[in-house]
Structure 1
Amino acid sequence: MILLASSSRQELAAQNRLLKAENQILRSKLPKRIEFTPKDREKILKHGKPLGGKIRQLLTIISYSTFRRWVRESEDGTAKPKKTFSKGGRPRIEEPLEDAIVRVRKETGWGLTKVRQAVTRLGHSVSRQTIKNVLLRAGIAPEDATDPDSWSEFLKRHAAVMWQCDFACKKKWTVKGLVDVYFMVFIHLGTRQIWVSPCT
């Protein structure tokens, strides 16, 4: 009986050494800092408290001081809630506002500036970059569609009937001396034909 008890103690000691070696190997492959859930803490405290001071040699994934702190917190009920850190940068705008931005863009085909002006008229202050980010998240490339009322589109639609005009002034020697001569220059947008008015 004594022989059996001693052999089983030796086997248990060998098993413990094996488990400890495995734990050390696993610990060496883990990151320096491990996040523990409240359930993880409870398990470690449940199995660690009965061991008393002997646990100091057994701990591999936490330090002894951390274990002692957990024991104190569980006994005092002073466990601190885990701090949550938000992602950097500005928070996203509310979903209804995002939906409004996407709707304005789809219904009008406006660019970022005009969409921003429309959203401002609704009482919301957002930047062009925020509008661009919202449209990209919605799968709409802001630069894809051109505004049908943009200046360049307007000129293309009316090129056949539009002329550009400019005034010019030139110094000219006459019998009365040096005088300013004024004239007008017209260019047809469609054909690029130029017409210069008589000088005055």
Structure 2
Amino acid sequence: MSQMQAHCSIAGEQASPTRINPRIILVLATWDICSGNQPVMNNEMSFLAKHVRCVYNQHCPFCVCTPTICHFYKEEVLFVWWVFSSVKRCLSFNFQTFLERVLCWVKPSATSLVPGTLADLTKGKLELLAENALLRQQLIILRRQVKRPTYRKTDRLLLVLLARMARTWKQSLFLVQPETLLRWHRELFRLFWKRKTKACARKSKLSPETICLIKEMAAKNRLWGAERIRGELLKLDIRVSKRTIQKYMRPIRRRRPNGQSWKTFLRNHAAGVWACDFLQVTDLFFRPLFAFFIIELQSRQVIHVNVTRSPTDPWVAQQLREATPYGQTPKYLIRDNDRKFGPNFARVAATSGIKVLRTPYRTPRANAVCERFLGSVRRECLDHSLIFHEKQLHRLLNAYTVYFNQARPHQGLGQRIPVPSVPSASLLKPPSRVIAIPMLGRLHHDYRRAA
């Protein structure tokens, strides 16, 4: 050959290394380097030869094109192969991490419209068509389950703006009807035009003294209207239009319905109205018991209570006689449509001068005070006791009636007691210690000042 060839022998521990010229160009053959009959370099080491230009010598498969002869140990070749493999793995890992970061950046957000739109610009037409079909099918499934979703103002605005850009917007709507979208568009145009044509806020030409005078006249003279106040202002040489007076009268006079409210009506007539009803109780042996209550609506005081196993019309009429002794009768008595209230009960009520008011069918709220009391009896007393017989239930309900009338505060009365007890200690004396009086077998307690 024209140029000198350097032979690289790999002979294990017997070969001695020589110095290497800096201009050495290392060329690795793609064939396996053999030492005798055993291969020294396997196929994995041939990776070095795939990335380096190689000049092959048939006599020496591992050669270096340089005037200087150099020898390599087997361990040195293995070290070079290990370095190349490590670099390759590191580059592959870094490239995979970088690719995942790029995909994460490009992936559209599920809760934002703008990043998703920007990400769609990088997609192809077929990919966009497939994604639209997938989203349309999911909307069809969602429409089967959600009957009426909630739309925010931003959602309505975006739907209106996007519908303007699509020619087939009516066919693209799944969650709303086209008429609804058109109504949103009209409301949006109305708000836009109202904001555009809104007059600039001008400073009032009236003096603060005149405004205060108008408000004072409107507050102290409830029967005066805007025109009447305008006449009074003209007497004082103050010229104000009727609409201006009405503007300052609105915060002072709130619009009220004609006549008194239903709450005022009930408060005025509650003193002469009683209500009665039955409460069915089951004893320990699953036998029914019936408790009869009469309650006054104004003070929430329980007027009468009694218990029986067979509530007949004569028995109910007798309870009404016992509840109204010495002519202490109400003007009205509210009852439901139970058959227990028969002709005897109606005769006693008419004789006593009581007008019976029957509630409509299936309207327990028409007798709300009595129904609320029956619920309190169950929650605060009967649900915590075992009833054996009729007399036990009668004693228990009498004890609860005393607690209800004389010790229990009521929300409907402003946390007051229906029948307040006379305070034993004078208000001028310093407050004494608080004592707890057990009631209903320590189920409830009545807290009072010690005498």
Larger radius of gyration: 2
Higher helix share: 1
Say whether the fold is shared (TM-score over 0.5): no
TM-score between both structures, scaled by the size of structure 2? 0.20
Q: Which has the higher contact order (CA 8 A, sep 6+)?
A: 1
